[in-house]
């Protein structure tokens, strides 16, 4: 697999990474531990060198899983994790006090079985703590060798600029896909101007762009998608128009819809690195294959024209979660 550079500080990763959250959290019951380890190591065998986790996935158990899986190959991979929630629980308020950031770093290092965190993201902006203090705390960890690169997640323009002025930001991780293109308006141009990489999470629209979800799909009771307006039965039915469009391109390219969705992201900018997640080995193989999809200028223009006529139905998040992003 080819590699890509995130930011201008030297961070280089595989063109497609692995989002590990779903192995432990968010999309139904956690997988059996050995299965998760096997899947992560299979990703490495297929060329993936970029693995994404967070203290709040579980909480804590996802970092432990990733740490165990990658321990034998630690020096050959890039591990990203995150701080930013009180007690490491995403249902609690944000907490990016400098002393909390340092505490999270120390605890994550232990769970990840490593002496350094490659990429340390602020998971959500904490409006109670000046961004300069957050960036300064991470800068100290970088100076001590405990962290190598600084990242933000779902941050707004002002926060990105303020953080970057104190400690260069290597990557912004936010949602971006054919299902959610809002970052194209202001975020992507700002990242380009500042030399910051972009790591789209949910690059397959939380599974919707694979073509395997429709209005009849039933999610596990613990599945996060149950609370998302975009995933109501009515909106899933309405948004099938987008899936049909992707399937048409997939048929033309002898690829799957998921591979087209990933190939489309990779074609947007050379510093974009999507991190699809999965619990299934055959889906992992399919996603890795997305790195080989080539969409030319004509393909992209055709998709752009067709997308302009499609209106996606349903909000991305319920109001309480929406209030936490773009700050």
57: annotated active-site residue: yes
Q: How many residues are present in the chain?
A: 327
**Gap between the Cα atoms of 46 and 44, Å rounded:** 5
CB atoms within 10 A of CB 254: 8
Selecting among 57, 121, 149, 176, the annotated active-site residue is: 57
> What's the CA angle centered on 192, arms 190 and 197, to 5 degrees?
105
**Gap between the Cα atoms of 74 and 76, Å rounded:** 5
Cis? peptide before 59, omega within 30° of 0: yes
Please state at what angle helix 157-166 crosses helix 187-194, rounded to 10 degrees: 10
End-to-end CA separation in angstroms for the chain: 35
Please state at what angle helix 240-253 crosses helix 297-307, rounded to 10 degrees: 160
Residues identified as active-site: 57
């Amino acid at each position: 697999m080819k590699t890509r550079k995130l930011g201008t500080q030297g961070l280089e990763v595989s063109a497609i990474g692995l989002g590990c959250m779903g192995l432990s959290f968010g999309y139904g019951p956690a997988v059996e531990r050995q299965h998760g380890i096997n899947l992560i190591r299979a990703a490495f065998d297929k060329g993936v060198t970029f693995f994404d986790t967070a203290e709040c996935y579980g909480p804590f158990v996802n970092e432990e899983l990733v740490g165990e899986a990658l321990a034998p190959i630690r020096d050959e991979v890039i591990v990203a994790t995150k701080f930013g929630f009180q007690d490491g629980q995403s249902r609690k308020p944000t907490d990016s006090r400098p002393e909390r950031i340092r505490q999270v770093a120390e605890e994550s290092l232990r769970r990840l079985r490593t002496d350094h965190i490659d990429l340390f993201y602020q998971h959500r902006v904490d409006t109670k703590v000046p961004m300069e203090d957050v960036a300064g705390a991470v800068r100290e960890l970088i100076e001590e060798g405990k962290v190598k690169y600084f990242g933000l997640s779902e941050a707004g323009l002002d926060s990105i600029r303020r953080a970057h002025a104190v400690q260069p930001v290597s990557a912004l991780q936010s949602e971006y896909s054919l299902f959610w293109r809002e970052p194209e308006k202001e975020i992507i141009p700002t990242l380009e101007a500042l030399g910051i990489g972009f790591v789209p999470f949910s690059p397959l629209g939380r599974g919707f762009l694979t073509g395997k979800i429709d209005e009849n799909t039933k999610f596990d009771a613990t599945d996060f998608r149950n609370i998302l307006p975009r995933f109501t039965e009515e909106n899933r039915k309405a948004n099938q128009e987008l899936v049909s469009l992707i399937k048409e391109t997939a048929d033309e390219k002898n690829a799957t819809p998921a591979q087209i969705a990933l190939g489309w992201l990779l074609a947007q900018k050379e510093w974009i690195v999507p991190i699809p997640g999965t619990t299934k080995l055959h889906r992992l193989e399919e996603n890795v294959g997305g790195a080989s999809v080539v969409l030319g200028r004509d393909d992209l223009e055709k998709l752009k024209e067709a997308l302009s006529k499609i209106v996606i139905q349903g909000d991305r998040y319920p109001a309480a979660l929406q209030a936490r992003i773009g700050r």
